Amino acid sequence: MFNRTTETRPPADHQRLRTRRAARIAAVLTATAACATATTGSAGAIVGGQDSTERYGFMVSIPMVNDNGHCGGSLIAPQWVVTAAHCVVPEPDAPESELTGKVRVGSEKRTSGGAVRAIARIVGHPKYDPRNIQSAYDIALVKLDRPVTQKPVRIADKAGPAGTATRAVGWGTTKDDAFVMPMRLQQVGLRTVPARDCKGISAKRELCQRGQVAGTMACGGDSGGPLLQRARDGKRWELIGATSRDGDDSEACSTGPGIWTNVPAYRTWIAKHTA
C-alpha cells in the first residue's frame, strides 16, 4: 500500500482509503503514502469542505517532509499529540530507524508556519493490530522532543449522541478521483449518526459520521486529524475523534459515512502516558 522510498505514490492509494495502512510511519519519513480517511464535498475543500474560518492552534500536520503523504493530529498537551495508530505505528517488519520524523503544530498552512518539532516517542494502543485494517483501537500518541506554546484542545468528557453537529479539520485530498492536497487547512461540517450506519464499526470505541451536506466527508490525507464538537458553553471546540477510515465499501469518500476513533473513550489510557 505504500512505498518506503521518496517516490510519490499514485492515486491507487487514495482509492483504497479505508485500508488505513497507507499512512503508517513510513509516510512520516517519506511522505509517500496517503492516509486512510478524509472529507469530501463540493467546494473544493476537505472533500466538500471550505478553507478554515478560524484558528485551530491545536492542529498538527504529520509529516511535513514534502507535499505528498500526510496525516493529521491534535495537540492535547504541550508535548503530546493524539493521532490515528495507522499513521505512526509501523508494520511488524518495519526497521527501527523509521520511528522518527517531524511534525508541524498550529499553522493553517500544511508546509509552513507554526512550530516544528521532532518526534521523540510514539505510543500506539497495545490492542491495535497493524495487520488488521478494521482494528478498532486505531489511536496513538506522539511525544514531541520539546513542548510547544500553542494551546492544546480539551478532550470532551464524552461524544454527543446521534444528531450532534461536529466538525472535521484537515489537509486531506479535495477530490474523490485524484489525490490533490490543499495548502490551506480545510474544515467540513458533519453530524454524528447511529453506529449501525457504518460498516465494521465498534460502537463503544468508534464514532460514525455523515456530512451535513451531501457529498462531504473526510478522505485520504485526513487520517488522525480532529473531529470536534462544541463545548457546553457553545464557544469552544472539544476533541471527540481521530479520523480513522471509511464507513462503507465505496471507493469514493463523498458517497458514504466515515469512522472516527472515539478519543474520550481512551481518556484513561491517554492520561496514563501523558501525565
C-alpha–C-alpha distance, residues 269 and 252, integer Å: 33
Is 199 exposed, middle or buried (CB count within 10 Å of its CB: 0-12, 13-18, 19+)?
Answer: middle
H or E stretch covering 255: none
In the DSSP assignment, the letter for residue 196 is: G
DSSP string, 62-121: E--SSSSSBEEEEEEETTEEEE-HHHHPPPTT--GGGS--EEEES-SBSSSSSEEEEEEE
Catalytic residue among 223, 244, 246, 254: 223
- CB of 56 within 8 A of CB of 119? no
Residue at grid coordinates 517532509: 65
Helix/strand/coil for 134: coil
Among 138, 176, 222, 246, the one annotated catalytic = 138
Name 96's Cβ contacts closer than 8 Å, sequence gap at least 6.
Answer: none
Identify the helix (H) or strand (E) that includes residue 15: helix 12-15
Catalytic annotation present for 86: yes
Catalytic amino acids? 86, 138, 223
